[in-house]
Structure 1
């Protein structure tokens, strides 16, 4: 039997932006399905933290989003938790350079799989239950979906495809499911790190002159979910104005 409590699935929610989104929507009263791959320890710790605030309100599912069968299983297991879904946030993403000359099948499979294929197939699999509950989908794209980042052709291509997917699914799933996207700018430095001169070069391109905060992403997702009920097919750049000028560097 379906619960009356709204449920959100957030992919890549063990840490960083995904964990911030999980905490925000849990605070808003959602039950959380926390997806992870390599960050199982962090995801389990996050679920324990949330369950201490509200018992049995967060569960962890582990899946490789590059594996078609595991994507299908993730959708099935998500519905098995509370028998409903109100919000899907496609946040999981792989990011690393693929200079021309080094692009191979493994990189294609990894970057296209995590950034484009899995969001599409999860959205397709979960669309019926989202429609039943007049839910929504939020895709995490990137400012580099529109302005390319040198040396990252595959990543930029995949994020550009995810942006178009957002608009296309908004048409296909209307009127019962809204589909929007958030394009973060400089919110967190890449996990592999960025030297100080590189950081300063990026911040020099941000009109607001600072790194963004995690809650600026989660508050935008909350806006799209709770308040922007007449918005669909839109991409909101949360980038301090960086996309107003051509992007350079990382």
Structure 2
């Protein structure tokens, strides 16, 4: 009997990595997508194969390139023969202040337009297109789609307008696709809160380099909160602690594998952070 097959975008690090582990622990086959994080992806693959032989395969792809999404679906079908669940996890995140300085001539710039375009392309249009391409195969298996959103899609986040706009669009699309694809395919979302602080400086430099090669200018800063800001965030979270990637992974696997009467839902996994913002 064929195992359940899951396609996860952006699976090499952080939440995607934890999610891949969670599905393999549940006996699933996983197609691991990555873009620039080659070493992390290969390391993850070895970890998963040590748990279960033939549990996963890797595919490298820039999802913004023509035909990349079709190739991703084809690779999954060729490797495992079916597609049961799609996890749209790949995303970009960095500050995009509305005003670089408070002068009238800087209210609208080509740079901010390019930034918004890139956020919408990666965080909204890629999940949309991939969901549509996957739909015929998910229909055959009565499968599901889970989109990674963000609690700030509802509340806004200072200096991250483009990111919030794209995630808000993704949230709205999640609810609409649940209606369009019903009753064959379930579509849900997960909105993380304070789960992980940004990566180390080395990883940040890698991300900056990758972003500088895309359509938008390289961000001037994608550093995370300082120590005081971290304390403030946790003090303004009901559970008073930082969440773990495994908390998100458990929710994603629940929606895909267990919640067979749930669709059009967005689950906040934030320790109560949203009550304070």
Quick check: TM above 0.5?
yes
Q: How does 1:12-161 map to 2 (within 5 A)?
A: 12-101=10-99, 103-161=111-169
- Matches of 2:224 and 2:155, distance apart in 1: 21
The structure whose Rg is larger is 2
- Cα RMSD after superposing both structures: 1.4
- Matches of 1:83 and 1:172, distance apart in 2: 25
Q: Which residue of 1 aligns with 2:209?
A: none
Q: Which residue of 2 aligns with 1:7?
A: 5
Q: 1:65 touches 1:113 (CA, 8 Å); kept in 2?
A: no
Q: Establish whether residue 179 from structure 1 lines up as the match of residue 190 from structure 2.
A: no
Deviation at 1:215, TM superposition (A): 1.4
Q: Which residue of 1 aligns with 2:233?
A: 202
Q: Which residue of 2 aligns with 1:163?
A: 171
Deviation at 1:105, TM superposition (A): 4.2
Q: Establish whether residue 223 from structure 1 lines up as the match of residue 254 from structure 2.
A: yes
| CA deviations over 1:76-120 (Å, ceiling 9, x no partner) | 222221121111110111000111146534423331122101100
Deviation at 1:55, TM superposition (A): 1.6
- Matches of 2:226 and 2:150, distance apart in 1: 21
Q: 2:98 touches 2:112 (CA, 8 Å); kept in 1?
A: no
- Matches of 1:116 and 1:68, distance apart in 2: 16
- Matches of 1:210 and 1:194, distance apart in 2: 15
Q: Which residue of 2 aligns with 1:241?
A: 272
Which of 189, 196, 199 pairs up with 1:188? 196
Deviation at 1:46, TM superposition (A): 0.7
TM-score, normalised relative to structure 2: 0.84
Q: Establish whether residue 211 from structure 1 lines up as the match of residue 242 from structure 2.
A: yes
Which 4+ runs in 1 deviate beyond 6 A? Answer: none
- Matches of 2:62 and 2:13, distance apart in 1: 16
TM-score, normalised relative to structure 1: 0.93
Q: SS of the residue aligned with 2:271?
A: coil
- How many residue pairs align between the two structures? 244
Structure 2: 5+ residue stretches without partners: 101-110, 200-222
Q: Which residue of 1 aligns with 2:206?
A: none
Q: 2:154 touches 2:168 (CA, 8 Å); kept in 1?
A: yes
Deviation at 1:184, TM superposition (A): 0.3
